[in-house]
Structure 1
Amino acid sequence: MTVSNSVFSAFSFITFILVLIPFPWHLEAWNTGTCLYMLWTAFGLLCYFINSIIWRNNAINWAPVWCDITARVIIGLSVAIPAASLCINHRLYCIASVRSVTRTKQEKYRAILVDLCIGVGLPVIAMALQYIVQGHRFNIFEEVGCYPFTYNTPPAYLLVWMLPIPIGLTSGTYAVMSIIAFRKRQSEFKEILSSNSSLNPNRFFRLMALAGVEVLCCIPLAITSIVLNATRGEVRPWISWEDTHWGFSRVDQIPSLIWRSDPSANVSLELSRWLVVVCGLIFFAFFGFADEAQKHYKLAFASVAKHVGYTSSGTGTTKIGSGVTSSTGYSFQKFKSFGKSSSSDAVSSRGGMPILVNQEVVEKRDSLDSFSDITSIKESEYDATELTPTSTSPFNTLKSVKTPNEAVDGPRSITPPASSTMDNSNRV
């Protein structure tokens, strides 16, 4: 297991936790776009993390069903994260245009339905369309794990690699329209924010910054992916469905020694999975340092700490059952005294003069109390529009590469993928 793979496993798991902890409060606030962003990012991180552990030193097809699921998720991620950003930017535009601050319950349900159609429907459609140009079942790269395969043929550009571009253009259009609407209705916007405790200019502008990240990153990355596949990979003509799916059940297993020896394959595979980590870290960077978010992270940390035997007291941390006290609190344990001093009123540290101490009996709370506190937070304490980051499309900069000496039982040779679907096959 290489150092880079170990580092990725650690970062992917930590980012998975950071992204998933705030999910319940976003869900209660009806932040559909943010919830979709968090779910897709967290699911992608979980898949990559599990793959990096299972296939850390091998390329054996241990779990074919899991690989089928993982390959579908990777295909969906390239569309799902831009689609979630589209939902967020559309919501921003509605707020900036002063049309959706107060809505009826029916309007909220309709908005949620639209967001689900975009954030879930589009990725599912992308997964189905990719099957048309899926050359074989999937690939397994040592240390990376399961990965989808897309046959480099002209329909693949339209059905797979170009899909993030119209989504990104639409999302960017809403972002620009939000800025224009805000400038035109700046005075009205301030009045609306002052009348609504869940909104403030600082939170709104953080969302506007995320919208700018989407415009600046998503479309250029998608265009780069298309150019690299067209120039560095051999584009095969579409002959028929049977030709494209010939030997469909085949699973290519590539050791790390092979794909890491090819600079293009190395960069493509590492970049594809690290970009998902970057999406999670961007979310945390924009929203993890807000007052509400810090409160939720601290509550979650306190709950886990209590579960393993630690609890916060004053400004320090006390380990239950160890006699270690915080810097400002008293010990929760009875100290053993030396000599004949009473255990309730005296302590002798080294058998010398007894020292009087104050002793408090603290009832130990259940380890799940912190989560009860979390769920009891009122809806007014957090921002319905704050927690809605945008993102970049993480699987759009992969390059077409070729793997040497890969024998195939048929008229085609196997080469490692190079794009978001790692399409780099050659047919004889």
Structure 2
Amino acid sequence: MATPENYMIVETHIIPQGIILAVLAPFVFILNFPPLIWHFRNRNTAAICMVFWVMLMNFMTAINVIIWPYIDMRSMYDGQGLCDVEIKLLGARSPGLTAAVLCLLRALARVLNTEKNLLGPTKAQKRRNTAVEMGWCVVLPLFTMLLQWIVQFNRFALTGVSGCQPFITNDWTGWTLTALPLLLTNAVAVYYAVIVIIRLFKYKSSFNSILASSNTTRSRFLRLFIIAFVFLIGITPLQIYILVVQVPPPGAKSFSFSTIHDPSSWNSSVVIPSTVLYDRWTNLGCGLLIFFFFGLGKDAVGMYREWLVKVDLGGCFPVLLQTEHSQRGVLSSDHSKIPLRRKTSWSKIESSRTSCSRASVSPRSEGSSEGRDVNSSSPIRPRHEV
């Protein structure tokens, strides 16, 4: 570990950016819970992974800024254990998020593929599609963790306010192993984005009928496409810029695994005074976009209504019981229509309706009480009107 003499003291108080992050990161993390649950219900693997990576990064930001709020960290936690986990997740973040966007665009392109969308996907096609999505969204991020460890210069680096960061060797082997997954994933994602745009113009006149055959709606399709496209045009140029900046200089040393992973030198960490890194703000922006596109739609509002009814607020707010009879669906990888919420039983609705009214019932006469006892013992229940 670094000694106190090696620290460069810049400030010894909490910087304003750290305070803003400590407030916004947990707030955005909580906002993204409803979209995550909604996509879980509808088994949308790509969207689940996209929301997961953004939520995970904001959660790590909140944890780090609370643990290391100062730029001077001489008397703070040295990061052992926590940083060992975080740097692995940071290494898989960019490929994982880009792969999720790729799979989302791929699903949209399959919806607009009229040649293979006439009879719907078979069970074998569904299994194959699920395997492809799991390969991109799960296997690829895990593989990048391994590649990062191969070229990892030391155990980890610890920066003020921003927290844990990986240190990669500054040679062509390190650059190639970290850049290759990003370049490959971005190239395929751009390809599917172009395919979707071409098919949107090609089938503009029959767009609604194509979506109807895939059990989705125009609003859901456009929301998924817009957020995927925004993420893509925001992520791709930034990643290309970072890769260009990190190109090894002329005369860089050749890679040596035995030298880098020498136990006497590798099992160490570097403490670097810093400020809030740019990607912390990027993660906040991505989280707000996810909530804006997925947390304010009709389907999400219906899910909020269902939650409020479950906690017996339907009696206090009767408008919550005015549910729609039509089932809601969402675009999923197998083009299936999945209901957004289950049917609420009569007893649950009745209990929520009466929970708030009991406190306001005025005392009645003994005769009327007997009448109520007779009615309550009747096996015939009144019809519930929505």
SS of equivalent residue, structure 1 residue 313: coil
Cα offsets for 1:331-374 (capped at 9, x unmatched): xxxxxxxxxxxxxxxxxxxxxxxxxxxxxxxxxxxxxxx9xx9x
- Give the conservation status (yes or no) of the 8 Å contact 1:133–1:151: yes
Aligned to 1:107: 125
For residues 298 and 139 of structure 1, the distance between their equivalents in structure 2, rounded to whole angstroms, comes to 45
SS of equivalent residue, structure 1 residue 22: helix
Kindly tell me the number of residue pairs found equivalent between the two proteins.
Answer: 312
Aligned to 1:27: 40
- Give the conservation status (yes or no) of the 8 Å contact 1:162–1:222: no
Aligned to 1:208: 225
Cα offsets for 1:318-338 (capped at 9, x unmatched): xxxxxxxxxxxxxxxxxxxxx
SS of equivalent residue, structure 1 residue 146: strand
**Corresponding residue to 2:95 among 63, 67, 79:** 79
Question: Cα 1:147–1:159, aligned 2, differ >3 Å: closer, same or farther?
Answer: same
- Give the conservation status (yes or no) of the 8 Å contact 2:220–2:331: no
For residues 215 and 38 of structure 1, the distance between their equivalents in structure 2, rounded to whole angstroms, comes to 14
SS of equivalent residue, structure 2 residue 246: helix
Question: Cα 1:54–1:379, aligned 2, differ >3 Å: closer, same or farther?
Answer: farther
SS of equivalent residue, structure 1 residue 139: strand
For residue 205 of structure 1, report the CA deviation from its aligned partner.
2.1
For residue 37 of structure 1, report the CA deviation from its aligned partner.
0.9
For residues 7 and 296 of structure 1, the distance between their equivalents in structure 2, rounded to whole angstroms, comes to 30
For residue 297 of structure 1, report the CA deviation from its aligned partner.
4.2
For residue 315 of structure 1, report the CA deviation from its aligned partner.
9.2
For residues 55 and 297 of structure 1, the distance between their equivalents in structure 2, rounded to whole angstroms, comes to 36
For residues 17 and 226 of structure 1, the distance between their equivalents in structure 2, rounded to whole angstroms, comes to 32
For residue 76 of structure 1, report the CA deviation from its aligned partner.
0.5
Aligned to 1:313: 316
- Give the conservation status (yes or no) of the 8 Å contact 1:172–1:211: no
Give yes or no for the alignment of 1:44 onto 2:60: no
For residues 239 and 105 of structure 1, the distance between their equivalents in structure 2, rounded to whole angstroms, comes to 47
Q: Which residue identity does 1:36 align to in structure 2?
A: C
Aligned to 2:288: 281
Q: TM-score, structure 2 length as denominator?
A: 0.71
For residues 233 and 303 of structure 2, the distance between their equivalents in structure 1, rounded to whole angstroms, comes to 31
For residues 378 and 81 of structure 1, the distance between their equivalents in structure 2, rounded to whole angstroms, comes to 36
Question: Cα 1:298–1:270, aligned 2, differ >3 Å: closer, same or farther?
Answer: farther
Aligned to 1:219: 236
For residue 290 of structure 1, report the CA deviation from its aligned partner.
1.0
Question: Cα 1:154–1:298, aligned 2, differ >3 Å: closer, same or farther?
Answer: farther
Aligned to 1:163: 181
For residues 213 and 108 of structure 1, the distance between their equivalents in structure 2, rounded to whole angstroms, comes to 27
For residue 43 of structure 1, report the CA deviation from its aligned partner.
1.8
For residues 155 and 84 of structure 1, the distance between their equivalents in structure 2, rounded to whole angstroms, comes to 26
- Give the conservation status (yes or no) of the 8 Å contact 1:93–1:174: yes
**Corresponding residue to 1:89 among 105, 114, 118:** 105
For residue 167 of structure 1, report the CA deviation from its aligned partner.
0.9
- Give the conservation status (yes or no) of the 8 Å contact 1:172–1:214: no
Q: Which residue identity does 1:7 align to in structure 2?
A: I
Greater helix fraction, Structure 1 or Structure 2 = 2
- Give the conservation status (yes or no) of the 8 Å contact 2:44–2:331: yes
Give yes or no for the alignment of 1:154 onto 2:172: yes
Question: Cα 1:377–1:137, aligned 2, differ >3 Å: closer, same or farther?
Answer: farther
Mapping for residues 293-304 of structure 1, pairs under 5 Å: 293-297=300-304, 302=308
- Give the conservation status (yes or no) of the 8 Å contact 2:171–2:255: no
For residues 378 and 172 of structure 1, the distance between their equivalents in structure 2, rounded to whole angstroms, comes to 39
Matched residues, percent identical?
25
Aligned to 2:190: 172
For residue 145 of structure 1, report the CA deviation from its aligned partner.
1.7
Aligned to 2:328: 381
- Give the conservation status (yes or no) of the 8 Å contact 1:26–1:384: no
Cα offsets for 1:355-395 (capped at 9, x unmatched): xxxxxxxxxxxxxxx9xx9xx99994242259xxxxxxxxx
Aligned to 2:363: none
- Give the conservation status (yes or no) of the 8 Å contact 2:79–2:158: no
After TM superposition, the structure 1 stretch with the greater mean CA deviation from structure 2, 3-12 or 186-195, is 186-195
SS of equivalent residue, structure 1 residue 121: helix
Give yes or no for the alignment of 1:56 onto 2:69: yes
For residues 21 and 325 of structure 2, the distance between their equivalents in structure 1, rounded to whole angstroms, comes to 37
- Give the conservation status (yes or no) of the 8 Å contact 1:165–1:218: no
Give yes or no for the alignment of 1:134 onto 2:152: yes
Cα offsets for 1:370-428 (capped at 9, x unmatched): 9xx9xx99994242259xxxxxxxxxxxxxxxxxxxxxxxxxxxxxxxxxxxxxxxxxx
For residues 186 and 33 of structure 2, the distance between their equivalents in structure 1, rounded to whole angstroms, comes to 24
Give yes or no for the alignment of 1:245 onto 2:251: no
- Give the conservation status (yes or no) of the 8 Å contact 1:168–1:214: no
- Give the conservation status (yes or no) of the 8 Å contact 2:67–2:77: no
Q: Which residue identity does 2:270 align to in structure 1?
A: D
For residues 100 and 51 of structure 1, the distance between their equivalents in structure 2, rounded to whole angstroms, comes to 47
